DNA sequence: TGTACATCAGTGAACGCGCGTTCACTGATGTAC
DNA sequence: TGTACATCAGTGAACGCGCGTTCACTGATGTAC
């Protein structure tokens, strides 16, 4: 049952996509290789023909999810440059909190990833740098450096989503409060950047 | 083999303490009831005599760990009132990053907890309120309310530890950078509180 | 205080189950001539 | 272009293993009299 190179590559991509979605939804330890293969329309044997172990697939799935997430961030606006507010609006939202399957994989599996191997950690670090780089480009001068604020914002956004999801079942009000609070406080960290200032002061209530 | 009420209560407490430590270290899904019972010096049957399921034990272990963590926070200083800097120094440190077994359970298992039941979520929410309350008491007036900053700081601290642990294997420098950056940026969120200002300006370099 | 006995915390064998991984096999692909 | 055949992606049965949970049993505790 050999398939064409193209089909094989597509199967591989399908396994990664499916794994990314399921790992985020149920946790890496919460999904079996059988579930992943089945939902990708293959058998687990095919999965092992493509990946040497579940952990190797996990590292690839994490990298894929992060790539997807940072791409989504950069695509928030076309034409004009993105602002910190653009990024925060999309990341710190009830929508992001509730779409775990398509959302940020660090927020979905962050504390699990800390226990996986170096390959997984490498994917993770790449994602963190991706986020921080995107944030940094939107920041202006302030008491702390742009790099410092970018890293702090990255950590804070992830923490806010983790916390908002964790408390959601027991205390939905607190969950929303965490998102809103993080949104407002982090929005203040822009610094004296014309792009930020324009959006939060000049265009407030403007038609365009 | 019935034991005294006191012994039974002690066994229960031992199971909770052991579970809290092991769950934080290996993840909730990463530890079996056999491991927990064995390390507490009992059999898994005894565990089921005390808790109706592993998830019920998980909720109790989480609550225990959070209680321990917030107690530790409030005990950072005796006599004088704690400042934001006191809390941040102890929470945003390499020591906390590397002591997962005795550290904050939200940072250790945050993203796993989001998939557990309402009892677990309730423990989680209690812990978040505990942290936020402690932070709030140290804050002064600023552009955002004390409550908002307290919640944002809570989320940011957790996110920073999760991220620092996640990238540690692949990129130790980035890991430290995240902690330091979060420490500096969050330190700026104190507001016009005399306790904060005194510590960061007046006593800088002073002997006492 | 002393005796009889119900209680129930803890034991350990056993349960079915799903896990990650291996492997002999299949048969279409794609290459060598 | 046509034929022969090596390759190898994918199949599916089988592996040992550890999981969470159940349950008949034990025997010291602690209560009723």
Dump pLDDT digits (tens) for A167-199: 999 999 999 999 999 999 999 998 775 444 334
pLDDT value of residue A31: 96
Dihedral angle at the C-alpha atoms of A186, A187, A188, A190, nearest 10 degrees? 100
**Mutual orientation of helices A118-136 and A54-74 as an angle, nearest 10°?**
10
In the complex, which nucleotide's C1' lies nearest to the CA atom of residue A4?
C29
Residue environment code for B104-113, b if the CB has 16+ CB neighbours within 10 A, otherwise e: bbbbbbbbbb
Residue environment code for B16-34, b if the CB has 16+ CB neighbours within 10 A, otherwise e: bbbbbbbbbebbbbebebe
Quick one: which of B40, B126, B123, B131 has its CA closest to B82?
B131
Query: Which chain B residues are closer than 8 Å to A109 by Cβ?
Result: 111
Length, in residues, of chain A: 208
Comparing alpha-carbon positions, the chain A residue that sits nearest to B147 is A181
Question: Residues B111, B115, B118, CA angle at the centre, nearest 5°?
Answer: 115
**Interface touch B128/A26, C-beta < 8 Å:** no
Q: CA A84 to CA A98: how far, in whole Å?
A: 22
Task: Tell if B26 CB is < 7 Å from nucleic strand D.
Answer: no
> Which stretch of A4-8, A46-50, A156-160, B111-115 has the lowest confidence by average pLDDT?
B111-115
pLDDT value of residue B57: 96
Query: Which chain B residues are closer than 8 Å to A128 by Cβ?
Result: 163, 166-167, 174, 178
Task: Tell if A9 CB is < 7 Å from nucleic strand C.
Answer: no
pLDDT value of residue B2: 83
pLDDT value of residue A98: 96
Task: Tell if B32 CB is < 7 Å from nucleic strand C.
Answer: no
- pLDDT of A144 strictly over 60: yes
Please provide the average confidence, as pLDDT, over all residues in chain A. 89
pLDDT value of residue A80: 86
pLDDT value of residue A1: 66
Nearest to B170 among A122, A156, A178 (CB): A122
Is the model more confident about B134 or about A205?
B134
> Exposed, middle or buried, A133 (CB in 10 Å: 0-12/13-18/19+)?
middle
pLDDT value of residue A149: 96
Whether the Cβ atoms of residue A104 and residue A91 lie closer than 8 Å to each other: yes
Closest protein residue to C28 (Cα–C1'): A2
Quick one: which of A63, A72, A112 has its CA closest to A93?
A72
pLDDT value of residue B1: 66
CA distance A70 to chain B (A): 16
Q: CA A41 to CA B179: how far, in whole Å?
A: 43
pLDDT value of residue B98: 96
Per-residue pLDDT of chain B (208 residues), as tens digits, is 689 999 999 999 999 999 999 999 999 999 999 999 999 999 999 999 999 999 999 999 999 999 999 998 888 888 788 999 999 999 999 999 999 999 999 999 999 988 888 888 999 999 999 999 999 999 989 999 999 999 999 999 999 999 999 999 999 999 999 999 999 999 999 877 544 433 443 333 333 3
- pLDDT of A147 strictly over 90: yes
**Interface touch B128/A167, C-beta < 8 Å:** yes
Dihedral angle at the C-alpha atoms of A157, A161, A163, A168, nearest 10 degrees? 150
Rounded CA–C1' distance between B111 and D26, in angstroms: 42
Task: Tell if B33 CB is < 7 Å from nucleic strand D.
Answer: yes
Find the distance separating the first CA and the last CA of chain B, reported in whole Å: 59
Whether the Cβ atoms of residue A178 and residue B125 lie closer than 8 Å to each other: no
Task: Tell if B75 CB is < 7 Å from nucleic strand C.
Answer: no
Q: CA B205 to CA B208: how far, in whole Å?
A: 9
Q: Which nucleotides of C are covered by protein (CB under 7 A)?
A: 7-13, 18-24, 26-30
Tokens describing residue A189: 């960290």
Q: CA B140 to CA B146: how far, in whole Å?
A: 7
pLDDT value of residue A197: 38
pLDDT value of residue A202: 33
Closest protein residue to C8 (Cα–C1'): B2
Find the distance separating the first CA and the last CA of chain A, reported in whole Å: 58
Nearest to B27 among A115, A164, A180 (CB): A115
Dump pLDDT digits (tens) for A90-115: 999 999 999 999 999 999 999 998 88
Dihedral angle at the C-alpha atoms of B45, B69, B150, B79, nearest 10 degrees? 150
CA distance B153 to chain A (A): 8
Rounded CA–C1' distance between A204 and D16, in angstroms: 65
Find where tokens 């909190």 sit.
A97
pLDDT value of residue A113: 87
Q: CA B114 to CA B109: how far, in whole Å?
A: 9
**Interface touch A121/B26, C-beta < 8 Å:** no
Tokens describing residue A193: 């950047």
Find where tokens 């107690």 sit.
B71
Nearest to A174 among B128, B143, B188 (CB): B128
HEC profile for B86-121?
Answer: HHHHHHCCHHHHHCCCCCCHHHHHHHHHCCCCHHHH
Whether the Cβ atoms of residue A152 and residue B182 lie closer than 8 Å to each other: yes
């Amino acid at each position: 049952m050999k398939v064409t190179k193209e089909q094989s590559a597509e199967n591989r991509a399908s396994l990664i996509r499916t794994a990314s979605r399921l790992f985020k939804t149920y946790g890496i330890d919460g999904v079996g290789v059988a579930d992943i293969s089945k939902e990708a329309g293959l058998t687990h044997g095919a999965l092992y023909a493509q990946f040497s172990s579940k952990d190797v697939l996990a590292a690839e799935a994490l990298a894929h999810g992060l790539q997807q997430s940072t791409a989504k961030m950069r695509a928030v606006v076309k034409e004009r440059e993105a602002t910190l507010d653009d990024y925060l609006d999309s990341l710190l939202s009830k929508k992001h909190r509730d779409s775990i399957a398509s959302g940020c994989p660090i927020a979905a599996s962050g504390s699990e990833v800390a226990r996986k191997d170096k390959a997984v950690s490498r994917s993770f670090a790449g994602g963190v740098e991706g986020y921080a780089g995107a944030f940094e480009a939107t920041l202006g001068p302030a008491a702390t450096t742009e790099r410092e604020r970018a890293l702090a914002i990255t950590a804070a956004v992830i923490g806010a989503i983790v916390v908002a999801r964790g408390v959601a079942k027991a205390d939905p009000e607190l969950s929303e409060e965490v998102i809103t609070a993080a949104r407002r406080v982090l929005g203040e960290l822009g610094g004296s950047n014309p792009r930020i200032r324009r959006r939060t002061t000049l265009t407030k209530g403007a038609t365009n």
